[in-house]
Amino acid sequence: AQSVTQLDSQVPVFEEAPVELRCNYSSSVSVYLFWYVQYPNQGLQLLLKYLSGSTLVKGINGFEAEFNKSQTSFHLRKPSVHISDTAEYFCAVSRIQGAQKLVFGQGTRLTINP
């Protein structure tokens, strides 16, 4: 089975400051990794995904994430945040072989203060 741990339930940051949202996963098989964002009263939107290749993945809205296999981590970063980045962020994994579902972490609420 797979599990995902997002270490921070809430992260407050000032506008234009850098931010890192942490994600660790556990799996006995190889997995793909995803970050989704959910704005208030909205569905989920894919920010970025790691499938293979370069461990540094760039996504939409200036976000990037780095896959670290030895530490089983997939932390999300942005060098300078905006008010519009205020949202809930979910890290998720799916099995490479025979995957039928995403396993989500508990989410991190990112709040940007002016």
Partner 1 sequence: DTEVTQTPKHLVMGMTNKKSLKCEQHMGHRAMYWYKQKAKKPPELMFVYSYEKLSINESVPSRFSPECPNSSLLNLHLHALQPEDSALYLCASSQGLLGNTEAFFGQGTRLTVV
Residues that bind partner 1 (CB under 8 A): 32, 34, 36, 41-46, 49, 51, 90, 94-97, 99-102, 104-107, 109
- Do 82 and 107 meet the contact criterion of CB atoms below 8 Å apart? no
Name the minimum Å distance from CB 111 to partner 1.
Answer: 13
CA–centroid distance for 98 within its chain: 22
Kindly tell me which of 49 and 77 has the beta carbon lying closer to partner 1.
Answer: 49
Name the minimum Å distance from CB 80 to partner 1.
Answer: 26
Kindly tell me which of 7 and 44 has the beta carbon lying closer to partner 1.
Answer: 44
Kindly tell me which of 40 and 114 has the beta carbon lying closer to partner 1.
Answer: 40
Name the minimum Å distance from CB 29 to partner 1.
Answer: 12
CA distance 68 to 85: 24
What residues contact 51, with CB distance under 8 A and at least 6 apart? 32
CA distance 113 to 23: 23
